């Protein structure tokens, strides 16, 4: 078990990217390409909203959308 943890520490990005590739492959083959893309878009939006709430609360979300869609 110790050697496995050492291997993971030495090659952490390789392990992470292989796991991401495995998950993506499973998603593509089970739910399809477009549904997988939609899933990641929804996850990204939820992550962005959560990040903004963590950083500056509801006011941060208002500021972000005002900057994004506000008149210049």
Radius of gyration of the chain (CA): 18
Provide the mean pLDDT of the chain.
91
Statement: residue 6 has pLDDT above 80: yes
Each domain of the chain, given as residue ranges in start order, spans 1-31, 32-72
Question: Are the C-beta atoms of residues 15 and 8 closer than 8 Å to each other?
Answer: yes
Kindly report, residue by residue over 13-59, the tens digit of the pLDDT: 999 999 999 999 999 999 999 999 999 999 999 999 999 899 988 99
Q: Quote the pTM value.
A: 0.69
pLDDT at 45: 92
């Amino acid at each position: 078990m110790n050697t496995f943890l050492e291997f993971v520490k030495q090659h952490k990005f390789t392990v992470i990217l292989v796991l991401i590739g495995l998950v993506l492959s499973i998603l593509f083959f089970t739910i399809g390409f477009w549904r997988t893309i939609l899933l990641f878009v929804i996850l990204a939006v939820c992550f962005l909203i959560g990040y903004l709430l963590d950083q500056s609360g509801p006011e941060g979300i208002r500021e972000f959308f005002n900057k994004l869609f506000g008149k210049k």
